[in-house]
Copies of this chain bind each other. A is one copy, B any other.
Amino acid sequence: MSHGEHPAVDDADRTGVWLVGARGNVATMSIVGARAIAQGATDTTGMVTERDTVSNLELPPVEGFVFGGHDIEPESLVAQAERQRDRNGVPDADTLEAVRDDLAAIDERIEVGTAVNCGAAVSEDSEQLAEDLSIRDVVDQIRDDYETFRDSHDLERLVVVNVASTEPELAESDRYDTRDALERAIDEDDRDLPASVLYAYAAISSGHPFVNFTPSTANTLGGVRELAAETEVPHMGRDAKTGETLVKSALAPMFAGRNLRVMSWEGHNILGNKDGLVLEDEANAAGKLASKGDVLDSILPDIGHNRVRIDYTPSLADWKTAWDYIHFEGFLETEMKMQFTWEGSDSALAAPLVLDLVRLISHADEHGDGGLQPQLASFFKAPLGVDEHDFSRQLDRLYDYAEEHR
């Protein structure tokens, strides 16, 4: 048994991390970051689990993460990372050199995935599982990929994280509201089920904790949630909160708490990476806009106007800029304004959260906490099973969890 890039890590400290969308920006940056930490080439700035209170938890070390995954994009991880370096300046040249060999090794463990119902913007020109495979066969193949990886690396735990492109929304999703209905659909080769659901179902039905970093359907489907609850497999989602929406969830409570009436909150996002290109497609954007919009509607139930735009601006590459304009009314009908701009490297914001989520969901799994994980709400734009959108209060739930599990 060989430990590949983890010579110094104890077996007990090794965690399998299976990334669906393993050659995407977020995945690449997560892998680069984890390996750079392991190599001592960077620090853990940006990781929530390295902050006070949370860092008191006994969490699996990032150094022990063993990566594998699915993708439908053939270009190698190394090539992806090089493009990121050239276009965004992140990772920098030195860091990339430090992890180049690790990336090459990990790239060997990326399997071809399914692109069923991912929309043309995603699946065009991709390499994917044969489209004429039955849905059941696709599920079996995915499960097989998980198990083969786990066996060959001798892993006790495998966490599956969906970081694939955003899919179009699934219409009438309540037809799959129960485990039964979902499993029947799979058996009857229902061609409406999207890839994210298959990845999630395959993971949870095999007992692997699952995290949905994207707005796609995946584990939000009633049938998947029922399955996870019954089998006590921890899972959480959806749509990681990394930029404009994060700021909204920190700022909107201020307006609410001061009883200031928000008349309009207009948000305009521009970005230039592939995520931006996919979101140019209206079908793919729908879910994203919904999860982004919810935060304000929930914190500010009386908001007058709430619009989010996402525009593709190629020259920005992975740098996402948001401009938000907030028009509010205070005492004596006084109209006032707040504006902000946020300029972040999207994947550099996302990557540490992927690592955090793997560590925290492993912790839940280790402690037998199955089903949804409300203590992880602060990581998501639309936290499953949680109504609280105030970022500070969401974080308090995580701190409380950390206190309890000290």
What residues of chain A have their CB less than 8 Å away from a CB belonging to chain B? Answer: 29, 32-33, 36, 42, 44-48, 50-51, 89-93, 95, 246-247, 250-251, 253-254, 256-261, 263-264, 266, 268, 270, 304-305, 307, 309, 311, 313-316, 321, 323, 325, 327, 329-345, 348-349, 351-352, 378, 390-393, 395-396
CA gap between A321 and B95 in the complex, in Å: 28
Q: Do B313 and A305 have beta carbons less than 8 Å apart?
A: yes
Q: Do A270 and B325 have beta carbons less than 8 Å apart?
A: yes
A-B contacts, 23 of them at CB < 8 A, read A29-B332, A44-B259, A45-B260, A45-B330, A45-B333, A46-B330, A48-B258, A89-B89, A93-B93, A246-B258, A247-B254, A257-B378, A257-B395, A264-B315, A266-B270, A304-B315, A305-B315, A323-B323, A331-B352, A337-B343, A337-B344, A338-B341, A392-B392
Closest chain-B Cβ to A400's Cβ sits at a distance in Å of 13
Closest chain-B Cβ to A140's Cβ sits at a distance in Å of 36
Contact of A332 among B329, B344, B348, B393 (CB under 8 A): B348
Nearest B residue to A86 via CB reads B92
If A331-B352, A333-B42, A351-B332 touch, whether A392 touches B257 (CB-CB below 8 Å) is yes
Q: Do A343 and B332 have beta carbons less than 8 Å apart?
A: no
Of A48, A305, A393, chain B has the most CB atoms within 10 Å of the CB of: A305
If A246-B258, A313-B264 touch, whether A336 touches B345 (CB-CB below 8 Å) is yes
Nearest B residue to A398 via CB reads B257
Closest chain-B Cβ to A300's Cβ sits at a distance in Å of 12
* Overall SS of chain A's interface: mixed
CA gap between A105 and B39 in the complex, in Å: 37
Q: Which B residues are CB-close (under 8 A) to A392?
A: 253-254, 257, 390-393
Q: Do B352 and A330 have beta carbons less than 8 Å apart?
A: yes
Q: Do A246 and B250 have beta carbons less than 8 Å apart?
A: no
Contact of A250 among B45, B250, B329 (CB under 8 A): B250
CA gap between A193 and B91 in the complex, in Å: 50
Nearest B residue to A327 via CB reads B315
Q: Which B residues are CB-close (under 8 A) to A91?
A: 332
Nearest B residue to A257 via CB reads B395
Q: Do B261 and A331 have beta carbons less than 8 Å apart?
A: no
Contact of A313 among B32, B36, B92, B266 (CB under 8 A): B266
Closest chain-B Cβ to A295's Cβ sits at a distance in Å of 13
CA gap between A309 and B268 in the complex, in Å: 10
Closest chain-B Cβ to A302's Cβ sits at a distance in Å of 10
If A46-B258, A311-B307 touch, whether A327 touches B332 (CB-CB below 8 Å) is no
Return the 7 tightest CB-CB contacts between A and B, nearest first. Answer: A392-B392, A46-B331, A263-B315, A340-B340, A250-B254, A334-B348, A46-B330
Q: Do A332 and B251 have beta carbons less than 8 Å apart?
A: no
Q: Which B residues are CB-close (under 8 A) to A336?
A: 343-345, 348-349
CA gap between A111 and B343 in the complex, in Å: 43
CA gap between A342 and B251 in the complex, in Å: 12
Q: Do B264 and A314 have beta carbons less than 8 Å apart?
A: yes
Q: Do B257 and A391 have beta carbons less than 8 Å apart?
A: yes
CA gap between A174 and B345 in the complex, in Å: 48
Q: Which B residues are CB-close (under 8 A) to A95?
A: 332-333
CA gap between A90 and B337 in the complex, in Å: 15
Q: Which B residues are CB-close (under 8 A) to A29?
A: 331-332
CA gap between A251 and B33 in the complex, in Å: 26
Nearest B residue to A318 via CB reads B334
If A331-B45, A333-B42, A338-B341 touch, whether A251 touches B247 (CB-CB below 8 Å) is yes
Q: Do A46 and B259 have beta carbons less than 8 Å apart?
A: yes
Given contacts A253-B391, A253-B395, A254-B392, 12 further A-B contacts (CB under 8 A): A42-B332, A44-B259, A51-B259, A91-B332, A247-B251, A263-B315, A264-B316, A268-B309, A270-B325, A304-B315, A315-B335, A392-B392
